[in-house]
Amino acid sequence: MPRKAVVLVSGGLDSATVLAIATEAGFDCHPVCFEYGQRHRAEVDSARRVCLRRTGREPRIVAVDLSAFGGSALTDTGIEVPETSTEGIPVTYVPARNTVFLSLALAYAEVLDSRDIFIGVNAVDYSGYPDCRPEFINAFQALANVATRAGVEGRSMIIHAPLLDWSKGRIIEEGMRLGVDYAETVSCYQATDAGLACGRCDSCRLRAQGFREAGVPDPTRYVVGRG
């Protein structure tokens, strides 16, 4: 019987690739997706399409109201999404987001009796986010091994972050090889509800650059001509 894995899926390019990697590696994938007060619905719609196509399963959708705390341009409509790069940790950083998401994935893994969790964090593009670094993944794995029944019973939990040190171009190349349809994914920080991308935020810029690096036509649907 294939090993069960919980896969965090956001509707973006990275997690769609991770889902394809985990499926190809033979895991029985149980996707989970979060409604956390993000600005737009397009992420969740995109996550559903990606999961259904790859696994035949709807993602488990979990509501967690990170906007209760504010503090990020992605959950607080009072903070504008920047359209130029900035120094240090950007305002699009959602405090402790990956910690919260991995914790919820851990809860799901416990219920499923799964010991494998896949997450599409990437340290190259998001070096300004504390929770996208290898130290973070290692610390979470150590936590998972003392926080769970499996850990207490000596069965190790593994946090898989296969994209951790990949460039966006390499992620796209691998996804293309595995048949990921990137037209179904949405990366933009301020996409419209229909999933049209702004073409100007950091996330749009990194994504477009990735397609150029990979030498693949960019299938993103933009609101206006690319900024």
Query: Which residues are within 8 A (CB) of 17 and not within 5 positions of it... i.e. 6 or more apart?
Result: 120, 163, 171, 172, 174, 175, 178, 180
Using CA atoms, how far apart are residues 53 and 181, in angstroms rounded to an integer?
10
Among 142, 183, 194, 224, binds a copy of itself (CB under 8 A): 142
- Name the token pair of 193: 């509800």
Whichever of 22 and 106 has its CB closer to a copy of itself, that residue is 106
Q: Is 39 in the site for a copy of itself (CB under 8 A)?
A: no
Using CA atoms, how far apart are residues 175 and 71, in angstroms rounded to an integer?
33
Q: Is 91 in the site for a copy of itself (CB under 8 A)?
A: no
CB 145 within 8 A of CB 117: no
Using CA atoms, how far apart are residues 31 and 157, in angstroms rounded to an integer?
17
Q: Is 146 in the site for a copy of itself (CB under 8 A)?
A: yes
Among 133, 170, 212, 221, binds a copy of itself (CB under 8 A): 133
What is the layout of strands, in order, in the sheet containing 28-35? 28-35, 4-8, 116-118, 158-160
Question: Which residues, listed in sequence order, are joined to residue 117 by a DSSP beta bridge?
Answer: 6, 159
Selected range binding a copy of itself among 42-50, 144-152, 168-176, 186-194, rule: CB under 8 A: 144-152
Among 16, 18, 51, 106, binds a copy of itself (CB under 8 A): 106
Selected range binding a copy of itself among 128-136, 161-169, 180-188, 192-200, rule: CB under 8 A: 128-136
SS3 150: helix
Q: Is 139 in the site for a copy of itself (CB under 8 A)?
A: yes
Using CA atoms, how far apart are residues 91 and 155, in angstroms rounded to an integer?
39
Among 98, 114, 122, 187, binds a copy of itself (CB under 8 A): 98
Selected range binding a copy of itself among 43-51, 135-143, 192-200, 208-216, rule: CB under 8 A: 135-143
Among 53, 82, 124, 130, binds a copy of itself (CB under 8 A): 130
- Residue 81 carries which side chain, given as an amino acid letter? V
Selected range binding a copy of itself among 38-46, 107-115, 184-192, 216-224, rule: CB under 8 A: 107-115
**In the complex, which residues of this chain contact a copy of itself (CB under 8 A)?**
60-66, 68-71, 89, 93-100, 102-104, 106-108, 110-111, 130-131, 133, 135-136, 139-140, 142-143, 145-149, 151-152
